[in-house]
Amino acid sequence: MKKRIMNKVLSTLNRKAIRRHVFLPSKREIWTVIGEEGDNLICENPIFCSCKDFYFSLLKKNKKSCYHLKVFLIAKKQKIHSTFYYKDEEFESFMNLLFKDLK
Ligand SMILES: [Zn+2]
């Protein structure tokens, strides 16, 4: 990992900016990483991030990645994320709010 990216990853981890959102009773999970440029939506399977870097990595046929995904994988493994619980009925309004914030 490049040093500049490594620093970004570490500072994001330090800010505890990784959130797991669980919808009940379906247990549907959504992850967000609050990056320097706003919230980003992360999906694990298939692997996805809503940021521009990830989008361009797809176009370039590089390994699909961005620093949010690196942050996400470390945070999940070390359990340094915060978890929020919602009702399934709230899923739609949650997604609407999230996509309003995405740039
Ligand atoms: Zn990203």
Q: Map tokens 């739609």 to a residue.
A: 92
Residue 24 CA to ligand 1 center (angstroms) comes to 26
Name the burial class of residue 36, with classes exposed (0-12), middle (13-18) and buried (19+) by CB atoms within 10 angstroms of its CB: exposed
| 3-state secondary structure at position 102 | coil
Classify strands 18-24 and 82-87 as parallel, antiparallel or unpaired. Answer: parallel
| 3-state secondary structure at position 15 | coil
Residue 94 CA to ligand 1 center (angstroms) comes to 19
Residue 14 CA to ligand 1 center (angstroms) comes to 17
pLDDT tens column, 17-66: 999 999 999 999 999 999 877 889 998 888 899 999 999 988 887 678 89
Nearest-angstrom CA–CA distance, 42 and 51: 9
pTM equals 0.84
Residues 6+ apart with CB under 8 A from 17: 33, 34, 35, 71
**Banded pLDDT at 100 (limits 50, 70, 90):** confident
Phi and psi dihedrals of 95, rounded to 5? -65, -40
